[in-house]
A and B are shown apart, each in its own frame.
Chain A
Amino acid sequence: MEVIKLQNIKKSFNENIVLKDINLTVNKSEVVVIMGPSGSGKSTLLRCVTFLEEPDGGIIKLGEQEVTAGSQMNKQRKNDIRKLRQNTGFVFQQFNLFPHKTALENVMEGPMIIKKIAREKAKQKAITLLKKVGLADRMDHYPAQLSGGQQQRVAIARALSMEPMVMLYDEPTSALDPELVREVLQVMKELAKEGMTMIVVTHEMAFAKDAADRVIFMDDGLIIEEGSSYEIFNNPKEDRTKRFLQDVSEEIVLE
Chain B
Amino acid sequence: MDFTIIIEALPLLLKATLVTIGLALVSIVIALILGFFTALARISKMKLLKIIGTIYVSMFRGTPLLVQIFVIYFGLPQINISLDPIPSGILALSLNAGAYLSESFRASILAVEKGQMEAAVSMGMTYGEAMRRIILPQSIRIAIPTLSNTYIILIKDTSLVSVITVTELLQMSTLIIAKTFEPLTIYLVAAVLYWIVITFFTVILDRFEKRTSRHLA
A101 / chain B contacts, CB cutoff of 8 Å = 215
B108 at the interface (CB under 8 A from A): no
The answer to whether residues A92 and B216 also contact, given A83-B124, A98-B134, A113-B133 and a CB cut-off of 8 A, is: no
| Residue in contact with A96 in the complex, picked from B118, B137, B216, B217, CB distance below 8 Å | B118
1/0 contact string of B121-140 vs chain A (CB within 8 Å):
11111100100011001100
A interface with B by C-beta (< 8 Å): 50, 52, 78, 82-83, 85-86, 88, 90, 92, 94, 96-102, 109-110, 113-114, 142-145, 158-159, 162
In the assembled complex, 10 residue pairs joining A and B whose CB atoms fall closer than 8 Å, in A order, are A52-B122, A90-B122, A94-B115, A96-B116, A97-B119, A100-B137, A114-B123, A142-B216, A142-B217, A144-B215
In the complex, the chain A residue whose C-beta lies closest to that of B123 is A110
The answer to whether residues A99 and B121 also contact, given A113-B129, A113-B133 and a CB cut-off of 8 A, is: no
- Size category, B interface: 20 to 34
A143 / chain B contacts, CB cutoff of 8 Å = 215
> Nearest chain B CB to A45's CB is how many angstroms away?
15
A78 to B126, CA, bound (A): 9
B interface with A by C-beta (< 8 Å): 113, 115-116, 118-126, 129, 133-134, 137-138, 141, 214-217
| Residue in contact with B123 in the complex, picked from A78, A85, A94, CB distance below 8 Å | A85
A144 / chain B contacts, CB cutoff of 8 Å = 215-217
| Contacts between chains A and B (CB distance < 8 A), count | 68
B137 / chain A contacts, CB cutoff of 8 Å = 100
A88 / chain B contacts, CB cutoff of 8 Å = 122
| Residue in contact with A100 in the complex, picked from B121, B123, B138, CB distance below 8 Å | B138
| Residue in contact with B138 in the complex, picked from A82, A99, A158, A159, CB distance below 8 Å | A99
A99 / chain B contacts, CB cutoff of 8 Å = 138, 215-216
> Nearest chain B CB to A104's CB is how many angstroms away?
13
A222 to B158, CA, bound (A): 65
A92 / chain B contacts, CB cutoff of 8 Å = 115, 118-119
The answer to whether residues A86 and B124 also contact, given A109-B133, A114-B129, A142-B217 and a CB cut-off of 8 A, is: yes
A159 to B121, CA, bound (A): 12
| Other A-B pairs, 19, CB within 8 Å; known A92-B119, A99-B216, A114-B123 | A82-B125, A85-B121, A85-B122, A85-B124, A90-B122, A90-B123, A92-B115, A97-B119, A98-B116, A98-B120, A99-B215, A100-B138, A100-B215, A110-B125, A142-B214, A142-B216, A144-B217, A159-B123, A162-B123
> Nearest chain A CB to B44's CB is how many angstroms away?
15
A98 / chain B contacts, CB cutoff of 8 Å = 116, 119-120, 134
In the complex, the chain A residue whose C-beta lies closest to that of B216 is A144
A83 to B121, CA, bound (A): 11
Contact (Cβ within 8 A) B118 A82 = no
> Nearest chain B CB to A157's CB is how many angstroms away?
12
B126 / chain A contacts, CB cutoff of 8 Å = 78, 82
A100 to B113, CA, bound (A): 13
A98 to B136, CA, bound (A): 12
A66 to B6, CA, bound (A): 79
B124 / chain A contacts, CB cutoff of 8 Å = 82-83, 85-86, 110, 114, 162
A109 / chain B contacts, CB cutoff of 8 Å = 123, 133
A143 to B122, CA, bound (A): 19
A158 / chain B contacts, CB cutoff of 8 Å = 123
A94 / chain B contacts, CB cutoff of 8 Å = 115
